[in-house]
Amino acid sequence: MSDEVKTIKVLEITGEPISRGGQEAFIVNVLSHMPEGDIRFDVLTPYYCDNERYREIISRRGELYALGLPFAPGKSRFNLLKPLEKFFAEHSYDVVHIHSGSISVLAECAHVAKKAGVRKIIVHSHCAVEKKTLKYRLVKLLFSRTLNSAPTHYAACSVLAGEAKFSRRICRGKLMILNNGVDTDEYAFSEEKRAEMRKALGVDDDCILLTHVGRFSYQKNQRFLIPVLGEIIHRGKKAKLLLIGSGEEENDVKQVCAQSGLDDNVIFTGNVDNVSDYLRATDVFMLPSRYEGLPIVGVEAQAAGLPCIFGNAVTAETAITESVRFLPIDYESVGTWADAAVSFAGRRFPENTENLKEKGYDIRETAERLMDIYCG
């Protein structure tokens, strides 16, 4: 009789390209903190991978598969079935964990995994919705039968994100909230690093540095921050806006900057791997999103001890600490955002690190919970 221990094979599927978004960050953060042992982690994206750092981290635990399908942000994705069926015909897994903000991606991946005989299927909602339009209701209805029957486990980053994707019956009885944990130690404040980064960015000590991190998109709403910056400067304050990321609306935001005469006050970094260093240089973090699940970057900003101003469309569950304020994102509220930024600047919340740990937002606890599910 063999004493050989069977290796558990887990497939993490993301409904986005593997770039620098929240879903990919969650997967990589979890994999980085999973204990070594008789468990293998592969990662699949239907699209592409352009993040070499993530590729290297994933390769330590298993294989990365990028199917190369065309990706259109914000569009419905009904082209996954055949490529997924081909993939599962060639690969077998014990656990499939599907991460997405798209109802169709969650349902189609769960359907194919069940058809392939996967014994444990987790669907994980990472995003809420802006408006419950007729199209949204029809898509949810179309996939409701599959989502009610194919998965074995249901997860979401927040209650709002769960309700956006799953039925009331699922949300009341089967939904588990998996916190978007971060490595809280990575975001610990360093005065030396702050001075180094501000010098590199050309930001003086008496300048208020506002920061946003995220893909340039309609959802993230970066253009709202341009008049906020203008209002602060109009009041005689020195201020700059740091925009980290890339995306389909980046050129539009740059055009708004030029039209507003604020080119010299806005810093575009593109995608970066050391977000924590930029947060150390920051005075106020801003997130005027039109909708969110529970954004990882909001947790990261709190872990860095920053005062945070979030749009009131961001779920209230994101306010894990006392350093968060929610404000409307209509343009009549630009002055209110400017007031809040000026009053917040210069404050820091070092107690946030321990508060996040106590409330279960350390990535080590999130990884431990998932390990119990995968191996249970």
- Going from N- to C-terminal start, the domains of the chain cover 8-181+362-375, 184-358
User: Whole-angstrom Cα distance, residue 140 to residue 133?
Assistant: 11
Q: Give the homologous superfamily in CATH for domain 184-358.
A: Glycogen Phosphorylase B; (3.40.50.2000)
Indicate the residue type of 285: F
What is the band of 27 on the pLDDT scale with cuts at 50, 70, 90? very high
Task: Give the closest residue to 101 by CA, choosing from 146, 176, 166, 184.
Answer: 166
| Relative orientation angle of helices 363-375 and 22-32, to the nearest 10 degrees | 80
- The model carries a pTM of 0.89
Residues with Cβ < 8 Å from 277, sequence gap 6 or more?
193, 197
For residue 161, is pLDDT > 90? yes
From the number of C-beta atoms within 10 Å of its C-beta (0-12, 13-18, 19+), residue 74 rates as: exposed
Distance separating alpha carbons of residues 368 and 372, to the nearest angstrom: 6
Q: What is the pLDDT of residue 14?
A: 96
In the chain, how long is the greatest CA-to-CA distance? 80
Vertex 18: Cα angle to 319 and 271 (nearest 5): 70
pLDDT value, residue 74: 59
Task: Spell out the CATH class of 8-181+362-375.
Answer: alpha beta
Q: Say if 8-181+362-375 and 184-358 have the same CATH topology.
A: yes
At 135 the pLDDT is 87
pLDDT digit string, tens, across residues 260-271: 999 999 999 999
Least confident interval from 4-13, 209-218, 342-351: 4-13
Q: Which pLDDT band, with edges at 50, 70 and 90, does 1 fall under?
A: very low
Q: Which residue has the tokens 């191996």?
A: 375
Helices 225-234 and 250-260 pack at an angle, to 10 degrees, of: 20
How far is 320 from 67, CA to CA, in rounded Å?
A: 37
Least confident of 18-27, 174-183, 336-345: 18-27
On whether the CB atoms of residues 184 and 353 are closer than 8 A, the answer is yes
Rounded to whole angstroms, the Cα distance separating 202 from 45 reads 38
Find the mean pLDDT for residues 129-147: 88
Query: Which pLDDT tens digit goes with each residue over 204-228?
Result: 999 999 999 999 999 999 999 999 9
Which of 51, 100, 73 has the alpha carbon at shortest distance from 271? Answer: 51
> In which band, very low, low, confident or very high, does the pLDDT at 6 lie, cut at 50, 70 and 90?
confident
Residue 77 pLDDT > 90: no
pLDDT band at 5 (very low <50, low <70, confident <90, very high): low
Only one residue has tokens 């979401």, namely 156
- At 43 the three-state DSSP class reads strand
Helix ranges (DSSP H) in the chain: 22-32, 52-59, 81-90, 103-115, 134-142, 144-149, 159-165, 168-173, 191-201, 225-234, 250-260, 275-281, 296-303, 334-344, 352-358, 363-375
Q: What is the mean pLDDT of residues 101-119?
A: 95
- Residue 132 has a pLDDT of 84
pLDDT band (50, 70, 90) for residue 73: low
The two tokens of residue 293 are 């699940």
Looking at every residue in the chain, the average pLDDT score rounds to 93
**257 burial level (CB within 10 Å; 0-12, 13-18, 19+):** buried
Contact assessment for residue 112 and residue 93, using Cβ atoms and an 8 Å cutoff? no
Which of 18-32, 81-95, 123-137 is predicted least confidently? 123-137
Which residues are CB-neighbours of 262 under 8 A, at least 6 positions away? 226, 229, 230, 233, 241
**pLDDT at position 78, please?**
62
Q: Which residues contact 170 (CB under 8 A, 6 or more apart)?
A: 147, 148, 154, 162
For range 312-328, the mean pLDDT? 95
- Strand, helix or coil for residue 59: helix
User: Would you tell me how many other CB atoms lie within 10 Å of the CB of residue 73?
Assistant: 13
> Measured between alpha carbons, how far is 309 from 330 in angstroms, rounded to an integer?
14
Position 5: which residue type? Answer: V
pLDDT score of 76: 52
CA angle 98, 246, 178 (to 5 degrees): 30
